[in-house]
Amino acid sequence: MAENRIRVDARGIACPGPITELVKAYRNAKNGDIIEVMATDPGFKPDVEAWIKRTGNQLLEFREEGGTYVAVIKVTAKK
């Protein structure tokens, strides 16, 4: 089965917008889904790292592309 990829565009939204958008997407996701969040707020990196650490989901990749931060997350921790 193809993995379900959920894209969240939170570019141009100030902190805490990107993390709240991620949480919104997470609510509707299932274990195994991939959430890809794009954000421009520099506060997004520490927030997403803390979110991963606390919730136990998996951060597959965090990259910066010309001022946009992209976090690729695999949902694994839902009970």
Partner 1 sequence: MKRRVVIIGGGSGGAILANNLPLEDFEVTVVDRSPYHYYWPWLLYVAFRGSRRPMKREIRSLLKPGVNFIQSGAQSVDLNNRKVVLENGKTLDYDYLVVATGSRPTYGLIGGHEKAVEKYGDYHSTIENAERVWKTVNSLKQGTFAIVVGGDPYRCPPSPLEGVFLAEEFFRSRGLRDRVKVVFAVPYPRPYPAEPMNEVVEPLLKERGVEYITFFTLDRIEEDRKVAVSMEGEELKYDALVVVPPHVGTDMKISPEDVLTTDRFIQADKFTNNIKGFDDAFVIGDASAVPVAKTGVTAHLQAGVVARRLQGEDARNNGRTNCPFDLGYGLGTFVISDYNNPVVKLPPSRFSHLAKIAFAAAYWDMVRYPELWNPIFEAYFEATEPAKLSKIYV
Peptide bond into 42 cis (omega under 30): no
- Tell me the C-alpha distance between 29 and 46, whole Å: 22
Stretch that binds partner 1, among 9-17, 32-40, 60-68 (CB under 8 A): 9-17
**Minimal distance in Å, beta carbon 45 to partner 1?**
12
Q: Which residue stretch of 8-16, 32-40, 61-69 sits at the interface with partner 1 (rule: CB under 8 A)?
A: 8-16
Separation between Cα atoms, residue 14 and residue 73, nearest integer Å: 20
15 is catalytic: yes
> For residue 47, what are its two tokens?
């927030």
Contacts with partner 1, residue ranges (CB under 8 A): 12-17, 19-21, 23-24, 26-27, 43, 47, 50-51, 54-56, 77-79
